[in-house]
Structure 1
Amino acid sequence: MKATSIVQPISNEVPQDRKAVLAQALRRRILSMELAPGAVVDELALCDEFGLSRPPVRELLRQIAAEGYIELEANRAPRVAAMNHESLHSFYLAAPLIYVATTQLAASYASAAEIEVLKGIQAQFRQAIEQRDVENRVLYNDAFHLEIGKMAHNDYLMPSLRRILIDHTRLGKIFYRHPTTDDMQRDLELACAQHEQIIEAIDRRDPETAGRVVRAHMELSRRRMAEYAAPQGLDVPIEM
């Protein structure tokens, strides 16, 4: 399954539909790193590609800037949200707090229908892992945690969760884009099993277990990313 299946192709939509398709496509391109952090977002190119005039495109750019996908500054072209040391430091501090809070609330307030939607996303995530499909893996992981955020039914937490997921998804694309090793595959299978444990905890209304599992899930991700950033040195013999 290709990641582009998440975004439907444009046909004969009315302008509002084309704007929605552009929003979906632009978010996906940023999350998948097709548009790199700091890259210029070409307004005119988007107008041509999606058949829209500049006002609705500019309105959309303001909307996704508010969500954290891009940065807007006066007298400067729009740019994809940057990733730097300061933002990553803040990410690692905030992510466990937000994930635990939203997951525990989901275990208290999720409806049966919402849990079924989450199970469907998890099935797609598992398939991506089994097929060693990096792009769909990171996108469905994003969708999984975003859906849990929706299930928490807390408007105050959602903006923070959305912003964290942007960088979490981009980090996942960076750190897992290389050929998957057996060790990495085992970690991914563990992450998949943790997703299912989270679903089970939410389904039985168990916030304590849900929070504990998602904290361990975040630690697995943090450890893998730290290993990538600071790999073990080469074993080079020293001749005396």
Structure 2
Amino acid sequence: MPQKEGLTSFGVFKVDEVLTRLLFRDVPLIAFLMFRFHLDIPEALPKLRSFRWKDFLVIPLTVFLLALTGMIIQKVYHVSTGFSGPLFQIQGPRTGFEWCLLSISTFFSAYAEEVFFRLYLLECWGISHLFSKMAPLLRGTLRIEPFPRTTPSIERSPFSWRPLPWGPVIVSSLLFALTHLYQGPLGFFQALGAGLILALVYLQTGSIHPPALAHGIFNLLVYLRIFFS
């Protein structure tokens, strides 16, 4: 368990905890959602299968935006709290096996979160359907447009822009941020900013892979920075 000294949290990399999270949370969640897509939501499958070479151009840009947003939020947090020390200190992996396990679990966690919060929750179920029902009542005041359950697959540049369902994007990002409340206020706001960026990347590319890969790379870079700081 992490221990705290002031505002700094201390933790230790534990193989059993990582394996438990990987085998009993991430892998089952991905398997369940894949089964759900095949059974009831076949229109989601192209978002899992489509990955174009142009999407690789979006990944480094997304990682950069995630890092920049996180740094800005952390700077504001430090200024507002007056605390300038490290917020997390973790004893990292020591063996090659532990580093491989960390890398694998990081990308599985990223894919599990992106498939759930972006593909399933944002577009295929729940939030978008709710906003579609509420839009006739709210459009006059909040200007919320309904987001259809299915979206046509259109071949376009990854840098092209199309109108976005801002209501569902914001709500899904807030729910994503709530799952990071255990990291404190800073973790919540950083996750909120990251959720907005990842949702926009997903909707603009029409594929779950660019935000998931960028999410995994960014998390791995954060771990490396914490371990070696």
By the TM > 0.5 criterion, same fold? Answer: no
Instruction: Please report the TM-score for the alignment, with normalisation by the length of structure 2.
Output: 0.36
Between 1 and 2, higher relative CO (CA 8 Å, sep ≥ 6) is seen in: 2
